[in-house]
A and B are shown apart, each in its own frame.
Chain A
Amino acid sequence: MSLVSFVKIQEDTINSFKKAIIDSLDLIGYSFTKGTENVVIKPNMCYYWDYTTGETTDPRFVAALIEVIREKFSPRTNISIVESDASAMKCKYAFKMLGYEKLSQDYKVNLVNLSEDTTKTVEAYAGGYKLKLQIPQTIQNADLKINIPKIKYSVPKVKMTCALKNIFGCNPYAKKFKYHSRIGEVIVAINKALKFDLCIMDGNIVSGVQPRRLGLLMASKDPVAIDAAAAKIAGINPKTIRYLQLAAKEGLGTTKFIQKGIPIDYFKAMYPRKGIQNKLMKQAYELIVTMGLNKKLGLP
């Protein structure tokens, strides 16, 4: 079983984020390896929605992590914040709009659009699916790769996303919608190919059915365990999430975890979960979509 820590972020400040990061890593017994020179941080950027929506990683959270890394290693540690273009999002604008360009200037860290990086082609497999993947050089050269995801409800097929899905964003190919028919296999295959070392989940503000300040920070070395914990917080049984089960089967981690820190139920109680009203509305709308009426009516 893997360790997952649950820490409460006390205040909305960089210092408070920093303390929570240090505490969460202590709880899982994580120690930074000496000699680390190149660190890659993968925040979650989703479209142009800023951190107040709970959809994207707060740049102040990343700033706090940069401070921790530089204190643990050296002030000269080379840090790259990475993201790639997506079907509807261009990094060029997202970096600027979501506050990462300013962060990069203030903290002297690299901002890398993986879609413009040099790449190496590899083949990755999951659930019988073969994926030809371009691995960006910045990720290949990293000594330490840190994943900073968000918990989110997703399309019915996926249900919920967190750490594993965030790494899907390291695929430099921009038109990612082409993978949507085999999304579970692709998420797992990419994670197998890129293998991030550490997940620190920014749950200060979560999106849920509506954004809420939850003040949660989770850390784990196991992305499957952290996703299983995230699913429980969001009120979803991890066993019903297909890609999570596949990830466990493919050896990326385990859905069974040992809780460290504040009990998970504390955050579970506060998470803005789907209620009966949302479920009924969703089902009614899904019926409209199934009948193909949404297109006729000009609805999304």
Chain B
Amino acid sequence: MQKVGLGIIGLGYIGKLHLKHSLKLPNVNLVAVSDLSKRALKEAKNAGIKKTFTNYEQLLHEPNIDAVIIALPTHLHLQCAIQAAEAGKHIFLEKPIARNPEEAKGIVTAAHKNSVKLMMGYPLRFNKSFRELKTKMESGTLGDVEIAYATFISSGPFFHRAESHTPLPVPKWWFNRDLTGGGALIDVGSHIINLFRWYFGEITHIKSHLGYRFNLDFEDSAICFAKFESGTTAVITAGWFLQGYQLKVEFFGTVDHAFAQHRPSNRLVAATQMLTTGMSDFHRPHFDELHYFANCLLKDSSPSPTGEDGLKDLEAICQAYQNSICLD
């Protein structure tokens, strides 16, 4: 079988997950990885990756690499994506696309200019329940979806207490708004904005209320009110304050009501799933999106969600930040 030569840039939480999945994908040959952490590179070597780099520019020079996954902190996306595009590598870029629309436009332009494919990492589009919900909506069984609710509330970059008695440190960049572009809304809210744009089309109006429970200079909660081209009004709730993980979508149509959710299994169930299928259900959408990306490259088709999607998501988020209302 023909395989895509892949490189992974950044081995933080999500980069490590992509590494694990890439090794299992039948249509991917993971050639090299790069990260500043020598420990992460050692782990990658132990997992069977022959080429590891502390400088991603060296990885971009690898002739056997067709595409790269960019899983770096958000402030590094622009420079890395431009360099990858100029090196002729297709790009799978983790969300959010960038810190602001100007940077996002730079990334989209670089991909076009260098004729490389650019796909955004939004795994919810590959979640079975959320796909079924789209099919149901499009079949007309719900009627017109008048009101949609979405909740994505978790502990964000922080460990929650059920995860471990000994949590790991939070990388410093997460605490700096200048490096992230925002808080819970741009981080977990971007997943929902993207998902709802897939369901309902473009956002015509958006407002938000932002919460600052943890006294940081970025929001740890956001409630957005959005109007879509389809006429649907949505309430999108994003948060980083929960000792747990809740991701739910609920539609109220003129004919029927429907909902979908994505939730982690407890550790024992996850362990059983890993032993029986090699993967927990929770992480399957990440695996499937990468499988799809590699297939698009092999078939020379355009992967979706695109860089333009990433840009539009970010524009909506920035508009929500600008149109924030204060209820205090």
Contact = CB atoms under 8 A, between A and B. Distances in A.
Contacts of B271: 285, 288, 293-294, 297, 299
Given A48-B214, A49-B243, A299 B270 contact: yes
Interface in A8-56: 47-50, 53, 55
Given A87-B166, A284-B268, A300-B163, 6 more contacts: A49-B243, A50-B213, A89-B169, A96-B216, A293-B271, A297-B271
Contacts of A99: 215
A29 B79 CA distance: 66
A177 B158 contact: no
Contacts of B170: 48, 88, 93
Contacts of B214: 48, 50, 96-97
B81 to A, nearest CB: 27
6 contacts: A88-B170, A93-B216, A101-B215, A294-B271, A297-B275, A299-B270
A93 B175 contact: yes
Contacts of B326: none
A18 B267 CA distance: 41
B215 A102 contact: yes
Interface in A249-297: 281, 284-285, 288, 293-294, 297
Contacts of B167: 47, 88
B149 interface: no
A190 B215 CA distance: 32
List the 7 closest pairs (A to B, CB-CB), nearest first.
A97-B214, A297-B274, A88-B169, A88-B167, A300-B164, A96-B215, A47-B167
A297 B265 CA distance: 14
Contacts of B175: 93
B268 A88 contact: no
Determine chain B's interface SS by DSSP, over half rule.
Answer: loop
Interface of B: 20, 158-159, 161, 163-170, 175, 213-216, 243, 266-268, 270-271, 274-275
A48 B158 contact: yes
A143 B186 CA distance: 48
A154 interface: yes
A5 to B, nearest CB: 29
A288 B159 CA distance: 21
A70 B167 CA distance: 36
A131 B93 CA distance: 48
A97 B268 contact: no
A155 interface: yes
Given A88-B166, A293-B271, A299-B267, A97 B216 contact: yes
Nearest to A177: B166
Contacts of A50: 213-214
Given A96-B216, A300-B164, A87 B169 contact: yes
B165 to A, nearest CB: 6
B161 A55 contact: yes
A50 B20 CA distance: 33
Contact of A53 (B161, B164, B215, B275): B161
B224 to A, nearest CB: 23
Interface in A84-118: 87-90, 93, 96-97, 99, 101-102
Nearest to A49: B161
A88 B157 CA distance: 12
Nearest to B169: A88
Contacts of B275: 293, 297
A10 to B, nearest CB: 26
Contacts of B267: 285, 299-300
A62 B320 CA distance: 37
B215 A155 contact: no
Contacts of A298: 20, 274
A177 B268 CA distance: 26
A144 to B, nearest CB: 29
Contact of B268 (A55, A90, A285): A285
Nearest to A281: B268
A44 B270 CA distance: 33
Contact of B215 (A97, A297, A299): A97
A93 B171 CA distance: 12
Nearest to A86: B169
A207 interface: yes
A101 B212 CA distance: 14
Contacts of A88: 159, 166-170
B274 A53 contact: no
Nearest to A300: B164
Contacts of B169: 87-90
Contacts of B158: 47-48
